[in-house]
Homo-oligomer: A and B are copies of this chain.
C-alpha cells in the first residue's frame, strides 16, 4: 500500500463496559499514523459495512473520542449478524470487500468474540484470494471470557468486579433480613461458560459471606444435589445466597429449565417466564420452604461503567492500540491476546493469535477452578480473577450528579454503491 489509506473500526456482539476503550485505542493510534488517512466507523458492526452505513470518526471531536474510555456499550453500534462459510455467504464477503474498496479502506479492526474473528478471518482470506490489499486485525471482547489463546478477555474484569460487588452487597441485604427473606439468587450472564458466576467467589472473604453457593454451566446441575446444598447452607448460616450462571446444564448437557429434573410441568407452569433463577426460586420455596428472591442484573452487568475495573479499561485500550501498531508493522490476520507474565506481581503483555484459531476455540472454566462438590470455586480461580478487578476506572459526573457518556455525531459517508441486498 502506498500513500494514505483509510481504516475502519467495527464492534460486534454483546457490548461490555470497555469495548469502547478498545475502540479508543484503535482510533487514537490510527489517527496518529502517517499511513492512515481517515478512521471510519461501521454503524452496527459488519451490518454497517454490508449496508455501506459508515461514518467518519476522524471528524469527531478529540474529547468525544477520549470519552470512549468512560462510556459503556458500543459507540459505533453493534450487531449479532453471523456470516457463514465463504461458500455459503460469498455474496456477503464480496460485498464487504466492495465497500472497503469504494471507500479506500485497507485496514479493518474488528472488536468482538469468536464469530467476529471468524468474519474477519474470512474477509481477509477472500481479500488475499482476490488480490485486494487488506490488513484485518481482531481485538478480543467478551464479558463471557471464553476466547481461547488469551489469558482473559477485555470486558471480563469489569463484569467480574461488578457481579462480585453485587453478590457482596445483596449478601449484606440477605444477612440483614434473613428472618423473612432467607434466600437470594443472583443470576448472572454466561450461556456456556461460568466465568462470570465464578468471579463472584471473590465476594466471600469468610465462610458466612455471600455467595454460599455458585453454580456454573461447566458443573452438571442436579436438582437433588441443589436442594441438599441449599438445605445444608441454611442449616449452617440461617440464610442462603446463591449465584447461578444463566446457562446451567444437566448431566446430559441439556439446559436446565422448569421442565427438567424432578419437577413436572404442573408444578411450575407450562410457560416459563424469567430465567433459571426464577425457576430455582420456585424450587427453593417449595422444597426447602424458605422465601427466595431473584436479582437479575441483565445488561446492567455488562454496562456498569460506574464501577468498572481500571485494569480492564487499560488492557482493553492496550489491545486496540496494539492491533493498530502491529497492523502498521505488516502483521495481518491476527487477534491481539493478553499474556499474563509469570511472577508474584500481576503484569500483562500482548501477544498474537491466528484469527482462524480463535474463531474455532472456546475456553471454559477448567475443572481445577471448580470445587469438588461443583457448587463453588477454588483458590486457583480466585487467584486468576483477582488481578483483573483492580482499580476504579474514572468516569465523568455531570452537574446533575450522574455519569456522562459520549455519543458520536456520526457524520455519514456518502454511499457510493447500490443498496445491499439489492
Q: How far is the CA of A177 from the CA of B305 in the complex (A)?
A: 17
**Chain B residues with CB under 8 A of A281:** 273
Q: How far is the CA of A205 from the CA of B205 in the complex (A)?
A: 40
**Chain B residues with CB under 8 A of A293:** 298-299
8 A Cβ contacts from A169-184 to B = 169-170, 172-181, 184
With A169-B306, A272-B269, A306-B307 as given contacts, are A177 and B78 in contact (CB-CB < 8 Å)? yes
Q: Which of B78, B179, B295 contacts A296 (CB 8 A)?
A: B295
8 A Cβ contacts from A272-329 to B = 272-274, 278-279, 281-282, 293-300, 302-307, 309
Closest to A157 in B: B401
Q: Report the stretch among A215-223, A390-398, A413-421 that lies at the interface.
A: A390-398
User: A258: CB under 8 A from chain B?
Assistant: yes
Most buried by B among A164, A271, A386: A271
Interface size class, chain A = 35 or more
Is B300 within 8 A of A405, CB to CB? no
Is A270 within 8 A of B270, CB to CB? yes
User: A161: CB under 8 A from chain B?
Assistant: yes
Most buried by B among A14, A75, A78, A164: A78
Q: How far is the CA of A278 from the CA of B268 in the complex (A)?
A: 15
User: A11: CB under 8 A from chain B?
Assistant: yes
Q: How far is the CA of A170 from the CA of B391 in the complex (A)?
A: 22
User: A105: CB under 8 A from chain B?
Assistant: no
Is A179 within 8 A of B72, CB to CB? no
**Chain B residues with CB under 8 A of A177:** 14-15, 73-74, 78-80
Q: Which of B14, B172, B304 contacts A169 (CB 8 A)?
A: B304
User: A7: CB under 8 A from chain B?
Assistant: no
With A273-B273, A294-B296, A389-B401 as given contacts, are A47 and B15 in contact (CB-CB < 8 Å)? no
How far in angstroms is the closest Cβ of chain B from A305?
Answer: 6
**Chain B residues with CB under 8 A of A298:** 170, 184, 293-296
User: A34: CB under 8 A from chain B?
Assistant: no
With A300-B166, A397-B392 as given contacts, are A172 and B405 in contact (CB-CB < 8 Å)? yes
Is A78 within 8 A of B161, CB to CB? no
Q: Which of B78, B274, B390 contacts A401 (CB 8 A)?
A: B390
User: A202: CB under 8 A from chain B?
Assistant: yes
Query: Nearest 3 pairs between A and B by C-beta?
Result: A269-B271, A274-B274, A295-B298
Show 8 A/B contacts (Cβ-Cβ < 8 Å), sorted by A. Answer: A72-B173, A79-B177, A80-B177, A172-B303, A258-B273, A295-B297, A295-B298, A296-B298
